[in-house]
Structure 1
Amino acid sequence: MLLRAVIFDLDGTLVDSLGDIADATNHALAHHGLPTHPESAYLRFVGSGVRELIRRAVPSGQDALIEPVLASYKAYYDDHLFDRTAHYPGIPEMLTALAAQGTKLAVLSNKSDDFVKRLVARLLPQASFAAVYGERPELPRKPDPTAALALASELGVPPAACGFVGDTSIDMDTARAAGMYGVGVAWGFREVDELKAHGARAVAATAAELLAALRDARP
């Protein structure tokens, strides 16, 4: 069976957004008199949704400041969403090639839904995404498979015929839980060993390798 649909994570998979996320969080932390973090620390902070990002960034024992810092983060990030964020090399061409062969495309991110839709519309306008899901109150975040399964249903494709592409263990755990074909990308926010340990069926080092891995997949 060839893959009939592919669901993509966003941050660390399609777009490199780490700098803007780090800048917005550090701005919010400093605004509330809290210590900031080096950009590299955010490689481990991201992935589980914005509230968890802020919880990890706020010092232990300062939980009362999580909500105020979160509000400051959202306000700043809303105005600086595109300062440093860009798609990774070869991503538009890879998406175009998949769509040209009839593969349905979708995005599933733990990032706030509004930010996900704005990033996709601005940075990947040529991509033929059938659906774009960010964090929504009615759907649990990845690695819970509920949202991935809802996407498969919306696309009209059985989960076993769906690929799921991401850069973290959360994405590979989602793929396994949903019964989808998980493919990791080596250019994202986590290590290749993490992807393999969580069940990646393949790991791609470039967009061209990703395209080949998805075309060669045999779920």
Structure 2
Amino acid sequence: MPLRAALFDLDGTLVDSLADIAAAMNHALIHHGLPTHPTSDYRYFVGEGVMHLIRRAAPQGDEALHTEIFTTYRAWYAEHLFDQTTVFPGIAQMLARLAGEGVQLAVLSNKADGFTKQLVKGLMPDVPFAAVYGERPGMPRKPDPTAALALAGELAVAPGDCAFVGDTSVDMNTARHAGMYGVGVTWGFRGVDELKAHGAQAIATTAEELWTALRGPREAR
């Protein structure tokens, strides 16, 4: 049976946001007298929520300082959310094709819920997402499957009829724990080896390959 729903990670999967995340965190680090990091390093800092990002970018063990960095980061990022962030090539068109075939679309990110909704609305206003969620109080972050399963329930689709698409081990672990079809994309923040090691059932290197992974013949999937 064809997949009835596709859940997507946001950063590194639908949108290229690394430069803005790095700029915001480096601004916060400078503000607090700390050394910065090259943008490329942030590929391995992101994926598990902003506090994990801060713990990787800032000195360990000072939770009070981390809280101050969080406040500075969030304020800066709120003002610079769209400076350099763009939708990856072909993604908007691929999403429109999926929706046209009756596939329900949703976003599930570990980014703060407000920022997640702002980016989706601002960059993909014409994509008919059934639901868009980021990190919310009381809901565990990925790779805990709770939010993904709750989202499948909201869409009235069995987990086995859902794909979970992402660019990191966090996303592939989420798919595996939720019993969803895990599709890894290579244009994001991590590589093929990480995706495969964490259970990716298909790998896409382009938006067209992602379409095939989600809608092609079963043997292609």
Q: TM-score range by the shorter chain?
A: over 0.9
RMSD of equivalent CA atoms: 1.0
Question: Following TM superposition, by how much is the alpha carbon of 1:144 offset from its aligned partner in structure 2, in angstroms?
Answer: 0.2
- Any idea what SS the aligned residue of 1:127 has? coil
Distance across 2 between alignment mates of 1:13 and 1:86 = 11
Name the structure 2 match of 1:40. Answer: 40
- Any idea what SS the aligned residue of 2:132 has? strand
Name the structure 1 match of 2:207. Answer: 207
Question: Following TM superposition, by how much is the alpha carbon of 1:35 offset from its aligned partner in structure 2, in angstroms?
Answer: 0.6
Question: For residues 85 and 142 of structure 1, do their structure 2 counterparts lie closer, same or farther at Cα, with a shift above 3 Å needed?
Answer: same
Over residues 26-71 of structure 1, what are the superposed CA-to-partner deviations in whole Å (9 max), with x where a residue is unaligned? 0000001011111011000000001110111112344431000000
Question: Following TM superposition, by how much is the alpha carbon of 1:217 offset from its aligned partner in structure 2, in angstroms?
Answer: 6.6
1:90-129 equivalences in 2 (<5 Å): 90-129=90-129
Percent identity over paired residues: 67
Name the structure 1 match of 2:180. Answer: 180
Residue 64 (structure 1) aligned with residue 39 (structure 2): no
1:203 is aligned with what amino acid?
Answer: I
Name the structure 1 match of 2:154. Answer: 154
Question: For residues 189 and 217 of structure 1, do their structure 2 counterparts lie closer, same or farther at Cα, with a shift above 3 Å needed?
Answer: farther
Conserved? CA contact 1:3–1:217, under 8 Å: no
Residue 85 (structure 1) aligned with residue 93 (structure 2): no
Distance across 2 between alignment mates of 1:92 and 1:61 = 41
- Any idea what SS the aligned residue of 1:45 has? coil
Name the structure 2 match of 1:75. Answer: 75
Conserved? CA contact 1:3–1:163, under 8 Å: yes
2:30 is aligned with what amino acid?
Answer: A
Name the structure 2 match of 1:169. Answer: 169
Conserved? CA contact 1:10–1:108, under 8 Å: yes
Over residues 193-216 of structure 1, what are the superposed CA-to-partner deviations in whole Å (9 max), with x where a residue is unaligned? 000111101110000110011013
Q: Which of structure 1's runs of 4+ aligned residues deviate more than 4 A? A: none
* Total equivalences in the alignment: 219
- Any idea what SS the aligned residue of 2:147 has? helix
Conserved? CA contact 1:106–1:131, under 8 Å: yes
1:149 is aligned with what amino acid?
Answer: L
Distance across 2 between alignment mates of 1:149 and 1:175 = 10
Distance across 2 between alignment mates of 1:9 and 1:61 = 29
1:171 is aligned with what amino acid?
Answer: D
- Any idea what SS the aligned residue of 2:130 has? strand
- Any idea what SS the aligned residue of 1:129 has? coil
1:2 is aligned with what amino acid?
Answer: P
In structure 1, stretches of 5+ residues that fail to align are none
Question: Following TM superposition, by how much is the alpha carbon of 1:156 offset from its aligned partner in structure 2, in angstroms?
Answer: 0.6
- Any idea what SS the aligned residue of 2:165 has? strand
